[in-house]
């Protein structure tokens, strides 16, 4: 089923969009690892899944889609883990931890919801929590163009959609310090890595973050 979904998504996006994909070689050969991307549109998941989806990959999806006649079906076909937004859903958290501990791949958007402006919003700490619990590295992903893809298609033009995969990050485990502060620090590291691959207008709340400025000041091959 995962192979079928990937084939369908890949075919549709290859026909309907002009794809720019950079950094696929950065993906580890084996799991566990986490995919963390900015979130612009419902198309984000389908676009990335079309590039790399297989039976090893799952991710969180908002519980409201579980009974949706279309999105619910697609998410179940892809093995999605439904999560209750706005609260600590321990069942969904544990399911993600167990998936990663089994050596698989977990995809998510640290922001937890789509950005209404296209610019990054303050991320939640779920990705940092999973990293701490499993020791898995995280691959940052920067997506550009999906937020206006449908409007461009309506005008009978092929939208340009760009996806950039960064290098895997190995973040330090939480120490004896304030756990909340440590989770936030690791979360900001992930988001600044994503922001560094995005055009300036997409960087949002992280645009003036000191860590982002440090990353942008480095040579391109550093």
Q: Give the Cα separation of 137 and 144 in Å (integer).
A: 23
Q: Is residue 213 part of a domain?
A: yes
Its pTM surpasses 0.85: yes
Q: Is residue 22 part of a domain?
A: no
In 3D space, the residue among 138, 130, 195, 127 whose CA is nearest the CA of residue 168 turns out to be 138
Q: Is residue 87 part of a domain?
A: yes
Q: Is residue 23 part of a domain?
A: no
Q: Is residue 210 part of a domain?
A: yes
Tally the domains of the chain.
1
**Cβ contact 47:12 at 8 Å:** no
- Mean pLDDT along residues 192-213: 98
Q: What is the pLDDT of residue 111?
A: 95
- Report percent pLDDT > 70 for the chain: 96
- Mean pLDDT along residues 122-145: 96
Q: Is residue 19 part of a domain?
A: no
Domain that holds residue 62: 2-11+31-217
Q: pLDDT of 18-70, one tens digit each?
A: 999 999 999 999 999 999 999 999 899 889 999 998 889 999 887 877 777 76
Q: Is residue 18 part of a domain?
A: no
Q: Which structure tokens are listed for 6?
A: 């990937």
How many CB atoms are located within 10 Å of the residue 42 CB?
A: 12
pLDDT band at 222 (very low <50, low <70, confident <90, very high): low
Q: Is residue 88 part of a domain?
A: yes
Q: Give the Cα separation of 107 and 193 in Å (integer).
A: 16
């Amino acid at each position: 089923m995962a192979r079928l979904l990937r084939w369908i998504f890949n075919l549709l996006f290859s026909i309907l969009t002009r794809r720019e994909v950079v950094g696929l070689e950065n993906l580890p050969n084996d799991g566990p690892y986490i995919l963390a991307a900015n979130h612009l549109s419902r198309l984000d998941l389908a676009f990335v899944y079309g590039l790399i989806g297989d039976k090893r990959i799952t991710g969180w999806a908002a519980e409201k889609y579980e009974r949706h006649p279309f999105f619910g079906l697609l998410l179940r076909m892809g093995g999605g883990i439904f999560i209750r937004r706005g609260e600590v859903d321990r069942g969904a958290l544990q399911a993600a931890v167990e998936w990663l501990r089994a050596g698989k791949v977990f995809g998510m958007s640290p922001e937890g919801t789509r950005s209404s402006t296209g610019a990054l919003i303050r991320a939640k700490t779920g990705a940092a929590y999973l990293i701490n619990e499993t020791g898995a590295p995280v691959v940052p992903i920067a997506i550009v163009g999906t937020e206006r893809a449908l409007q461009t298609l309506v005008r009978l033009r092929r939208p340009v959609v760009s996806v950039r995969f960064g290098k895997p990050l190995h973040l330090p485990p939480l120490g004896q310090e304030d756990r909340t502060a440590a989770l936030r620090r690791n979360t900001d590291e992930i988001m600044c890595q994503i922001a560094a691959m995005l055009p300036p207008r997409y960087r949002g709340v992280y645009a003036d973050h000191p860590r982002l400025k440090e990353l942008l000041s480095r040579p391109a091959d550093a």
